[in-house]
Amino acid sequence: MPLFDKQEKTTLGIVLSIVLLFVFSVIYAQNKYNSNTSQRMVFNTTYNTASIDTLNPTNYRVFAVTNNEQLQPSQVQVPAGSKVDFYLTSNDVSHEFNIAGKNVQLTAIHGTINKASVTFGKPGVYKIICSDSNNVQAEIIVQHSDTKQ
């Protein structure tokens, strides 16, 4: 007696095809839309102080800290085409943020550092929004490349 009859084989084939299509679609979408997720790093007290460092004219490092529903620094200015490495931590409770228009999720957790790298190709104002309260917490101002800071 066969393990599966004809209808079961057909059903399993259809289900497997749908699952494979779903997996392929997720991988394709992540690559196409350049999804960026943060990565967790080892905690270091260096990251407890908010700051913006210019590594070179197109690379920046931002140490961002949340405390009492505020994200510091509250404003970052960079020229178009810049890559910004965000290092995020929290001095109180966990906070979820996203950068509007960039498909980037940031999580601030007390006692940990999360890093995300984002390239800002087009001039404009990119809001960093708290996912919990929908409040704008900070903004990245991307200026035309020839604009001096």
Does the residue 90 lie in any domain? yes
Please tell me whether residues 6 and 71 are part of one structural domain.
no
Does the residue 94 lie in any domain? yes
Q: What is the pLDDT of residue 148?
A: 46
Is 52 in contact with 73 (CB distance < 8 Å)? yes
CA distances for 136 relative to 62, 64, 126, 132, angstroms = 18, 15, 10, 11
Please tell me whether residues 61 and 101 are part of one structural domain.
yes
Is 144 in contact with 123 (CB distance < 8 Å)? yes
Does the residue 149 lie in any domain? no
Peptide bond into 123 cis (omega under 30): no
Weakest-pLDDT range from 54-58, 83-87, 91-95, 135-139: 135-139
Q: What is the pLDDT of residue 43?
A: 63
Q: What is the pLDDT of residue 13?
A: 93
Task: Give me the number of domains the chain comprises.
Answer: 2
Please tell me whether residues 134 and 66 are part of one structural domain.
yes
Weakest-pLDDT range from 10-14, 68-72, 105-109, 126-130: 68-72
Does the residue 109 lie in any domain? yes
Is 125 in contact with 49 (CB distance < 8 Å)? no
Domain containing 1 equals: 1-33
Q: What confidence category does residue 124 fall into, taking pLDDT thresholds of 50, 70 and 90?
A: very high
